[in-house]
Each structure stands twice: as C-alpha cells, then as structure tokens.
Structure 1
Amino acid sequence: MYGVRLADARAVVVKARAHSPRLDACTAVQRALWQAGFPAPEPLAGPVAEDGVAVTAEVLVPGGATAPLTEPARRFATLLARFVALAPSPSTLGTLTPAPPWTAWDHDVPGIWPAADDRDDDLNAAPPTPWLDELGAHVRVRLTRFAQTPAGRRLVTGHGDWEAQNLRWTGDDPLAVHDWDSVIAAPEAVVVGLAAAVWPCGMVPRAATVDETAEFLDEYQRASGRVWPPDELGASWAAGLWVSAYNTKKATLDGLPWLSQDEAARRLTLSGT
C-alpha cells in the first residue's frame, strides 16, 4: 500500500496485492456504494492486473476513530444494514469467489478447514483439536442445511470483515469503511452473523461476546425493518460461530486463546445445531 499525491493535490492510496478475478466485483461494489452516498473511499482506477499483481487506486480518507461515541452495536449494525440495502445484487456482478477463508464455511477443499488467510500452515494437518474440529464440522452441516432453504438461497452482497478496525467514525457518524477486498456474496443471515461475531475487534483486542452478538443481531433486524424467523436467526449464530472457530483454529497454532469451549457451546445452542 502506497500513499501518493496527484498533480491536482488529491491524496490517493495505491494498493497492490495478488490478483484475483473477484477484485473486479469488489471494486464495482465499492464504486456503486460510493456513488450512492455510502461512506466508501472513492475508487479512482483499477484493478489493473500484471504479472499476477492487481493494483487499484482510491481517494485517501484520513482521520476518524475506530468506534462511534455512543451505542456502538446499534451504529455498526445500522451501517451494515445500509450497506446491504445499497449494494448491487450479486447477480449483477462478476464472481466474488473464492470467498475470504474466514467466511468460507462452504469451501470445496478437502477437510474441515479452508486455507489459512495469513500463514502457510495447513489447518487440517495441524495438531488435532478434537472439540474444535467437531465444532467446525457441526457448523458446516448447520449452514449447509440453511443454504437449502429459500432464505439460504437468496444471496445479498455484504462485507465479510466487519470489524471495528476496518471502519472509521467522526463522533457518531460513519466516516469511511475500508477493506473492500472482503466483499462477499452470501445469504443475509450469514453476512450479518459473521459481522455480529467480530464487530468490536480493533476497538478492543477481542471478538464480540455472546451478549454483544445478540445485541448486534437485534439492532440489525430493527434497522432492516424485518424480524427474522428462528431458522434464519439460528443461521446467523452458526455463521458467527464459523468465523470464531476458524480464528480459534489458527490461534491454537500459536498457543493463544480465542473461543472457549463454554462459549462455543452457548453459541452452538443458539444456532439450533
């Protein structure tokens, strides 16, 4: 990532990363939301691919804090509801696959776990963690069942890394949403469940508690104007449990704690698994 200043004095961020066809759709979503007045940095160019590297440029949005001053769960959830409402339908975009691994419960690689996103370790060949591996398998079955329902087959465009570290606020007003490479196409319950499990991360050095997850899910439903039926709400808990289990699997490689077995059991019950 590089910062440059153009001849017209605009400050611009230039990003270079491994090319993936999904980046075209991610940038299209970013541009559409910026045009709709959503707090997205304005895309200026790209992605341009050469020698396996994709380069994009966007306007720099400086400043801001990682959390609003009041009612953070409500404001994070309301902003995500606005994102989903304004984003183009996945059917109008190019491919958004492969999804980021921490969202990819439906991956097609052998084993329970997809590739690690930030290391070379094979999570399926890592030292066994029976309770965690069983948990990952249960969650995949739960979400596969949901994907066969009408709500599970209805995909929306969402943000797959809705953490505090990727959002900036001015007071209680959203200033900018970052990490547009993490745009995904998934059932709404999955998009929201992923976010509900991780939203405080970066504001505090942890994921959401069970109570914070429940508050986020309640606030999202209020913002979107629809009360979810039990199966859809359970799928959200399952999606959040997937990202928590995936992050825990990686953390075990370094001997670090993340999701406890007691909390996992609570979330599993709420998922209806």
Structure 2
Amino acid sequence: MDPDSLARWCLEHLGSSPAEELFRSGYLSAVIGVRLLDGREVVVKVRPDSPRIAACVDVQRRLFQAGYPCPRPLTGAAAFGGGIATAEAYVPGGDILPSADHAAPAFAEAFARLIRLAPRPDELSTLDPPPSWAAWNQGGEGLWPCPEERDVDLDEVPGAEWIDEAGRRARDRLRASGSDAVIGHCDWLAGNLRWSGDELLVVHDWDSVTAESEAVLAGFAAALYSTVSADKLATVEDTEQFLAAYCTARGREFSADELQRSWAAGVWTRAYDAKYQHAAGQPITALSEDEARERLGRAGSGSRRP
C-alpha cells in the first residue's frame, strides 16, 4: 500500500488526506492507522475483494449503532487497486486480557451480547464463503477448505493423520444435527479484543463475521479464547468454563446435542489450524492428539483414538 494510493483513497472516501502514519500491521489484510489532516485518527484495511466484506461492514455498523463496543465504520467497502478497502475509527489502548479469575465469564458475556445484538442473517447480503477456519461444511469433496494464507491443498498434505481423523470426526458430528443460523464472530482470539479492567473496550477483526448456528459459534469462541495470553488457546477446562458462562449469559442452557456440537466445532477449528501448521512446517500448537481425544469425547464422537 504505497502512500500516494492511500492518500488518494482517504481523500476520496474520508474527505481528508493522511498527515501521519500511526501504525502498520495485518495478517490476512494490510492494516494502517493514520492521523488525517483534519485530526481524525482512522484505520484503513485493504484485502482481496470478496462479496462478503460489504455484509461484514454492515454487521459492524449495526452493532456499533446498537451500542456494542466495536470501531465505528467510516466507509463501506470501496475498491483499492485490485482489492477492497474499508475505514473505521481508531480505538487505541486497552489490555489484552481481563483479570484472570474473570476471564471466562468476561469473554463469554461479551460474545453472548454480540449474538444478542447482531442482525439476522436474512437482513444481510451474503456472508459466504465463511473464513477457512470456520468452513467445516465446505462444499468440496475434501475435508479441509483452502487456506486464505497460501495456495495449498491441505487434503494432499501427508502426515499427522491424527489431525485429519480428529477433523473428520468433528465434522461428522456437526453434520449429524443442526439449527438455525445466527450472526457471530468466528475468530474470538484474545488478540482481537481489548479490555478496560473487566469491561470490554473494543472488539476488532470484523472480517471474521459469519452466519452459523449459535452452538457452533459458541464452540469456536470457547476453543479459541485465552485466559492467560494472546499466544495461547483455551484449555479443555477453559472451554468448559466459557460454555457454562455463555449459557448463563444467554439465559438458558444448551441442550445436550447443542453442547456436543459446541465441543465438536472447537475441535474442528483447532484441527484446521493444526493441519495448516503441519502443512507449513511449523510446530503444531493449535491442538495436541491427547487434547483432541478429550474434546472429541465431550463432543459425543466416541472414545477411540483419533
């Protein structure tokens, strides 16, 4: 993202040019924080074009208007070179984690509030395709969707067969039943949230909005958040505490079937990440074989070794 292109885009869509770059980051998107000449501090995100981005911005805008702590969108999805860009208000500061003894209920209550305030899927344009780590029901013949990060067929990557088996068993359990879709956030990592004490300050990464059953979305979140570090993922105990706190926050318990689907969803998303780590030659930190076995047992998929 060269400065001249950024300046032209900001002037056209925000009415002012950048005066100072505040930060530059991003993983699947290029994310640049700038202070504009008119004094506003904004974040511009550029990524490959996709029809789902417009709906993601729509969800973010509606949640902001409903009082949910997310950055205020300043533009819709607009062309930027060969990609698409959006801008939102910059929300600095905050802590990575709430207090350790309140982490599970804090993350769960914040997620339950998001689900409660989000619009219905039929109010939006398409949110398809979902991000790869949430695409357990992808339409292809294989088990694994194509990662956004690189052009690789994970189904053709040999080795670590226990990951494939864990993913397959989780997917089969998810396909065994279902329920109506709601709107939620499928990348509920600690690094995407900031806290002021135990109060939620802001949630980032609204490209990770997706439509899915509530039990599955809660299962993703329960498996991905952390009570200790942005570099760690939930333990089995952490996931159990999140799901209990989530049900308290939503005001009713999950059925036995819904709870099993939540555990299965957590296995699938963690197994997908583990498969990608294996394919990339990285240490496998997203899931261990023993943990996959324990989580699959709670998903009701049997006790045989994955």
Q: TM-score, normalised by structure 2?
A: 0.84
Q: CA offset at residue 8 of structure 1?
A: 3.6
More RCO (CA 8 Å, sep 6+): 1
Work out whether 1:267 is the aligned partner of 2:292.
no
Once residues 80 and 276 of structure 2 are traced to their aligned partners in structure 1, the CA distance between those partners, rounded to angstroms, is: 32
Q: CA-to-partner distance for each residue in 1:142-187, whole Å, 9 max, x for gaps?
A: 111122xxxx2x1110001001000011111111100000001000
Q: CA-to-partner distance for each residue in 1:210-262, whole Å, 9 max, x for gaps?
A: 00000000000000001111000000000000011111111223241221211
SS of corresponding position for 2:253: coil
Report if the CA contact (8 A) 1:81-1:220 is conserved. yes
Identity among equivalent pairs (%): 48
Unaligned runs of 5+ residues in structure 2 are 1-30, 302-306
Aligned to 2:201: 175
Select which of 101, 106, 113 maps to 1:82. 113
How many positions carry a matched residue from both structures? 268
Unaligned runs of 5+ residues in structure 1 are none
Select which of 161, 174, 178 maps to 2:187. 161
Report if the CA contact (8 A) 2:75-2:87 is conserved. yes
Aligned to 2:87: 57
Work out whether 1:14 is the aligned partner of 2:44.
yes
Aligned to 2:149: 118
Select which of 77, 80, 83 maps to 1:47. 77
Report if the CA contact (8 A) 1:43-1:57 is conserved. yes
Q: CA offset at residue 207 of structure 1?
A: 1.4
SS of corresponding position for 2:77: strand
CA RMSD of aligned residues (A): 1.5
Work out whether 1:38 is the aligned partner of 2:65.
no
Distance 1:109 1:202, change over 3 A: farther
Report which of the two structures shows the higher radius of gyration computed on alpha carbons.
2
Once residues 94 and 249 of structure 2 are traced to their aligned partners in structure 1, the CA distance between those partners, rounded to angstroms, is: 23
SS of corresponding position for 1:67: coil
SS of corresponding position for 1:169: strand
SS of corresponding position for 1:146: coil
Work out whether 1:66 is the aligned partner of 2:92.
no
Once residues 78 and 3 of structure 1 are traced to their aligned partners in structure 2, the CA distance between those partners, rounded to angstroms, is: 29
Report if the CA contact (8 A) 1:165-1:202 is conserved. no
1:57 maps to a residue whose letter is A
Q: CA offset at residue 118 of structure 1?
A: 2.0
SS of corresponding position for 1:71: helix
Q: List aligned pairs for 1:224-243, cutoff 5 A.
A: 224-243=250-269
Distance 1:166 1:202, change over 3 A: farther
Q: CA offset at residue 7 of structure 1?
A: 4.1
